[in-house]
């Protein structure tokens, strides 16, 4: 697979979320960012827009489930970070956003290859039963030699 313009826009948005975090840590004044709760809100908003723009085009079923769980976890930690204005929680939110972006971009680039999907559980080729003395081994049994008593003629 190739990276598209959507991946580039998602990269810019996640980079902007990271820049807001780093600038606030360095006490660089930014409009509308007053406290750590605002930093968390900006990170969640930019991460959400990046997720919507980048789409879910990953074909790896286990990876999709993992990214979905990580996305929900990021949202929960982000809400907690907005409520508590904790520096630690905001740091975790930004790290989770960067992780989501990195894994999704690697999957879109083809570094994480999709697994072959089977129609169901793995099935082994049917083996013929071990021959018993006097038993027909051609694969078809005579009805009188059938070992299932409920199928007696």
**How much is the pLDDT for 112?**
78
Determine, yes or no, domain membership for 143: no
User: pLDDT digit string (tens) for 106-121?
Assistant: 888 888 766 655 555 5
Which is nearest to 74 in space by CA: 56, 54, 90, 55? 90
Burial 108-129 (b: 16+ CB within 10 A, else e): beeebeeeeeeeeeeeeeeeee
Tally the domains of the chain. Answer: 1
- pLDDT band, residue 64 (cuts 50/70/90): confident
- pLDDT band, residue 101 (cuts 50/70/90): very high
What backbone phi and psi angles, to 5 degrees, belong to 15? -65, -40
Determine, yes or no, domain membership for 150: no
Tell me 70's DSSP state: H
Domain of 67? 5-109
CA-based torsion, 47, 27, 32, 12: positive or negative:
negative
Determine, yes or no, domain membership for 128: no
Q: Please say whether the beta carbons of 12 and 101 come within 8 A.
A: no
Tell me 86's DSSP state: -
129 pLDDT higher than 60: no
Determine, yes or no, domain membership for 96: yes
Determine, yes or no, domain membership for 67: yes
User: pLDDT digit string (tens) for 40-61?
Assistant: 999 999 999 998 887 766 677 7
Distance (Å, whole) CA 152 – CA 40: 74
Determine, yes or no, domain membership for 120: no
Q: Please say whether the beta carbons of 94 and 120 come within 8 A.
A: no
Distance (Å, whole) CA 152 – CA 126: 24
pTM, to two decimals: 0.70
139 pLDDT higher than 80: no
**How much is the pLDDT for 100?**
92
User: pLDDT digit string (tens) for 73-82?
Assistant: 999 999 999 9
């Amino acid at each position: 697979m190739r990276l598209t313009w959507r991946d580039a826009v998602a990269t810019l948005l996640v980079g902007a979320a990271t820049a807001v975090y780093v600038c606030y840590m360095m006490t660089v004044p930014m409009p509308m960012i007053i406290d750590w709760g605002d930093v968390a809100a900006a990170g969640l908003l930019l991460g959400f827009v990046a997720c919507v723009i980048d789409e879910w085009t990953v074909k790896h079923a286990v990876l999709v489930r993992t990214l979905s769980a990580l996305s929900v976890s990021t949202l929960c930690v982000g809400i907690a970070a907005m409520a508590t204005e904790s520096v630690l929680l905001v740091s975790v939110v930004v790290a989770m956003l960067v992780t989501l972006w990195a894994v999704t971009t690697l999957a879109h680039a083809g570094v994480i290859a999709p697994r072959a999907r089977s129609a169901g559980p793995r099935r082994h080729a049917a083996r013929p039963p071990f021959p018993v003395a006097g038993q027909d081994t051609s694969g078809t049994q005579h009805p009188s030699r059938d070992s299932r008593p409920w199928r007696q003629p």
